[in-house]
Amino acid sequence: MTSVRDATIGTLRRLGVATLYANPGSTEISFLADFPDDLRFVLALHEGSVVGLATGQAIATGAPAVALLHTTAGLGNAVGALATARVNRAPLLVLVGQQDRRHLALEPFLTGKLTGLAGDYPVWVESPARAQDVPGAVARGWHEAVTGRGPALVIVPSGDWQEGMPDSEVVAAPRAITRAAGLDEADIEPVADMLTSASTPVLVSGAGSDEPRTWDALVALAERLRCPVWQEPFGARAGFPQDHPQYAGVLPADRSRLRAALREHDVVVTVGAAAIRQYPFEPGPLVEPGTAVAVVIDDPDEAHRSPADQVILASLPAACERLARRVPARTTPAPEFKSAVGPAPPASGEPLRAGHVLAALASLVSPETIVVEETPSSRPELHRLLPARRPLGFVSAAMGGLGFALPAATGLRMARPDRPVVAVVGDGSAIYGIQALWSAAQYGVGVLFVILANGRYAVMDRLAEGHGDTKPPWPDFSDVNMSWMARSFGCPALRLDTYSELTQVLGDVVPQLAERTDPLLLDVSVAPDPEFHP
């Protein structure tokens, strides 16, 4: 007879798990003591970083990453990061510690009311009825995370790990699941007919399309249609090569400007996203009357909430490939959108702005670079100046909560050491996930963190001004020194105040990013941008 712990570790091995991210507490010690050498244990200093690191790995690989959280405090601290993982479609298997079940009825110290603590953001939550059900729950949680594309939680009382697991015990989970990805020709006919009969079709690519086969199929479809391709607003990933001449840019996030952008088109087909995410609220329709909307998506939730005339709920690469073959090629001239030009270098006495930093980066990063973004006030300029040229070229937090970029970039680079990773982060955002720098330094993760430090929440300032307030009630935080904070966590850092310093350091560092094994944080002092539109 083996133990529940050893049976669970065997289950993780069969599932291909190689890494466990954690910030453990006492209820997890019985699982972690004498941890096997073939599983890599990665420590993070805050549960938001634990889940952020795992989210980065899951985004990079498409397979579930495994995180371990410590009862109520750990799960509570991680809820925002779990919400981000869910909206980012990142599959996670999350083990949550609990007090020993033999005295749970007495609610001893560290007992957690855990089942509903993360709300609706987990795709599945399980508290196994018996200790012997834990290995099966872990296996099922893995499958649930893949199917639901989000975090699946398994709550394990501390005493369960040492219970016996008879060899004859039935494990209530399959060893493997094959998910069929095919579809019939008739399945794509409604949308194919819409595109065939359209006079001025347009495509909108979403985060769900960020996969090599879907990119290729969408390029083929766009070139047959000779139509522009927009990116969904607030997309967490790029669903189409943004250096393609038919790429039109990122759609506006308010309804009046959205209608204006799509006004000339009689058919809008959104691929890999719901139709059509917006912020903030503005009354009125999403598109002009008479414009038909179709959605091609593999996420039931996004399909069911789309105000569309037609939805295909199917495997994206298969559906897009069939559409590209089925839709007749047009002979009209294809639109061509020119590449964005960055601002001129600042003149003597002119402040350094985000655009100067982004343009300098854009001139040096390779097409294979993964750019992780969390700089809300500079995001439109980043989209304009740093196009994603390969799948996984752009990653952001779909949820909108802060604290994503530093841990996610670290997890991405750990999972994909073959890809350079640059995180472009506002200082206000970086403060929320600063603990991740310790993990990046401790485990030799060669991410370049570029902090755009303007000493304030610039988006909040702009939004307040939009309401007529000339003086928001919150102060700036220009006294916070990001480079000092980074060095205190063991992460090398440089403070840059001038354009010449910036270009010299970037010129030295960026070409070597693919081989870099230590993180580096650049604390770049920038003036707030005078205008911002979400």
Q: What is the pLDDT confidence band of residue 61, given thresholds at 50, 70 and 90?
A: very high
Give percent of the chain with pLDDT exceeding 90. Answer: 84
CATH topology of domain 185-326: Rossmann fold (3.40.50)
Mean pLDDT, the chain, integer: 94
CATH 3.40.50.720 fits 2-165, yes or no: no
| Three-class SS state of 241 | coil
197: exposed, middle or buried (Cβ count in 10 Å: 0-12, 13-18, 19+) = exposed
500: exposed, middle or buried (Cβ count in 10 Å: 0-12, 13-18, 19+) = exposed
At 477-527, the pLDDT tens digits run 788 899 999 999 999 999 999 999 999 999 999 999 999 999 999 999 998
Do 96 and 114 contact (CB within 8 A), yes or no? yes
Q: What is the pLDDT of residues 339-356, one digit of tens each?
A: 888 888 998 888 899 999
Whether the upstream peptide bond of residue 280 has omega within 30° of 0, thus cis, is yes
Query: H helices within 27-99, ranges in order?
Result: 29-32, 47-61, 71-87
2-165 with 185-326: one CATH topology? yes
Contacts of 272 (CB under 8 A, 6+ apart): 205, 206, 207, 208, 209, 210, 214, 232, 239, 296, 297, 298, 316
Average pLDDT over residues 465-479: 73
Least-confidence region, from 106-110, 145-149, 391-395, 472-476: 472-476
**pLDDT band, residue 36 (cuts 50/70/90):** very high
What residue segments make up the domains of the chain, in order of their start?
A: 2-165, 185-326, 354-525
Predicted TM-score (pTM) of the model is 0.95
d(CA 8, CA 23): 19
Q: What is the pLDDT of residues 158-193, one digit of tens each?
A: 999 999 999 888 788 888 888 888 888 899 999 999
Whether 300 contacts 315, CB under 8 Å: no
**Confidence tier at 338 by pLDDT (50, 70, 90):** confident
Q: What is the pLDDT of residue 530?
A: 63
221: helix, strand or coil: helix
Q: How many CB atoms lie within 10 A of CB 287?
A: 20
pLDDT number for residue 294: 97
Closest-CA residue to 201 (of 213, 193, 209, 211): 193
Fold (CATH) for 354-525? Rossmann fold (3.40.50)
Q: Residue by residue, what is the 3-state secondary structure of 133-197?
A: HHHHHHHHHHHHHHHHCCEEEEEEEHHHHHCEECCCCCCCCCCCCCCCCCCCHHHHHHHHHHHHH
